[in-house]
């Protein structure tokens, strides 16, 4: 074992303790899969990331660094708040991207671009695959969430690396008052994201969209603030005219957090998912 630079970053907030934390090991060279998996389980956070130089293919394609992302249960191909938290830690450590204002991250999903400007970071939402869920699945999930059929306005299976069942609900109160049966959700094996788009959503000065994420199958009954889910929800809702091209999300209130996720679709159709990040812990990890 030897000391490795380590940071813990709070993402989607500018106030420590109000977002979603990610642990970042800034020098993971020489660590094996079992080492990373064990340390991620030990941190007991939804994700822990491990930074290393890009692969030769990644470097040739423009990557500034490579990251491996682990939940307590294993490696993930992509995750949103770990992408922003890792980028924040990498920049704070004194690194500079090859392209000013744009960091290129290599992960198991491929290359992900991250904009940084004016104190915020935003990742380019990965390509989304979506489809109608099985007719049998939605009633089972609704029962586990305590929802009546009339409260569900839309449902889609969303896959941008992580795979979510997205449910569009009828009101913010419906979203916030859910008391899920996490054991049943785990047994069903399907992570679930719920969202309500309010009439004030186009006013980006305040959150007009509320989101919650239930991920018991991944070992995380409720995730405080979720980048990958917000990315896939945005691509669905904007494409179907159910949300404006830019809006602000509130997530985490039911867990005592106050996460804020900025959604923006640019003129090319690319959706960007962003927010603030702050360092809460820095030092070394013995690995």
Q: What is the pLDDT of residues 178-208, one digit of tens each?
A: 999 999 999 999 999 999 999 999 999 999 9
Q: Domain spans of the chain?
A: 3-125+275-286, 129-267
- Judged against a pLDDT cut of 90, whether residue 219 lies above it is answered with no
Residue percentage of the chain with pLDDT more than 90: 97
In this prediction, residue 1 carries a pLDDT of 80
**Fold of the domain built from segment(s) 3-125+275-286:** Diaminopimelate Epimerase; Chain A, domain 1 (3.10.310)
The model carries a pTM of 0.96
- Locate 96 and state its tokens: 């500079």
CA distance 101 to 167: 35
User: Which long-range contacts link 149-157 to residues 24+ away (Cβ below 8 Å)?
Assistant: 154/240, 154/242, 156/130, 156/131, 156/132, 156/236, 157/130, 157/131, 157/132, 157/133
Confidence of residue 118 (pLDDT cuts 50, 70, 90): confident
The answer, yes or no, to whether residue 149 has pLDDT greater than 90, is yes
Q: What angle do CA 6, 12, 14 make, to 5 degrees?
A: 80
Fold match, 3-125+275-286 / 129-267: yes
Nearest to 213 by CA among 228, 198, 234, 197: 228
pLDDT at 218 over 90: no
Are 215 and 79 within 8 A, CB to CB?
no
Q: Is the pLDDT of residue 73 over 90?
A: no
C-alpha distance from residue 250 to each of 96, 122, 247 (Å): 31, 16, 10
pLDDT of 212 reads 98
CATH number of 129-267: 3.10.310.10
How do 20-25 and 48-52 pair as beta strands?
A: parallel
């Amino acid at each position: 074992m030897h000391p490795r630079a380590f940071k813990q970053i709070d993402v989607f907030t500018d106030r420590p303790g109000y977002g979603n934390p990610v642990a970042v090991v800034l020098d993971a060279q020489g660590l094996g899969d079992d080492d990373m998996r064990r340390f991620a389980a030990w941190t007991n956070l939804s994700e822990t990331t491990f930074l290393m130089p890009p692969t030769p293919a990644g470097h040739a394609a423009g990557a500034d660094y490579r990251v491996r992302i682990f939940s307590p249960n294993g490696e993930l191909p992509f995750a949103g708040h770990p992408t922003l938290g890792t980028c924040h830690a990498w920049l704070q450590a004194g690194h500079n991207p090859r392209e000013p204002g744009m960091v290129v991250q290599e992960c198991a999903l491929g290359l992900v671009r991250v904009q940084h400007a004016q104190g915020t970071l935003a990742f380019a939402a990965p390509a989304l695959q979506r489809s109608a869920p099985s007719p049998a699945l939605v009633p089972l999930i609704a029962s586990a969430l305590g929802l009546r059929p009339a409260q569900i306005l839309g449902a889609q299976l969303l896959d941008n690396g992580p795979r979510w069942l997205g449910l569009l609900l009828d009101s913010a109160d419906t979203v916030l008052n859910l008391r899920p049966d996490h054991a049943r959700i785990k047994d069903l094996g399907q992570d679930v994201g719920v969202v309500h788009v309010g009439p004030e959503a186009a006013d980006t000065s305040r959150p007009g969209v509320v989101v919650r994420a239930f991920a018991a199958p991944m070992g995380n009954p409720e995730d405080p603030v979720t980048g990958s889910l917000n990315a896939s929800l945005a691509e669905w809702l904007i494409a179907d005219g159910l949300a404006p091209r830019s809006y602000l999300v509130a997530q985490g209130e039911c867990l005592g957090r106050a996460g804020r996720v900025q959604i923006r679709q640019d003129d090319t159709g690319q959706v960007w998912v962003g927010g603030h990040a702050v360092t809460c812990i820095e030092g070394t990890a013995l690995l």
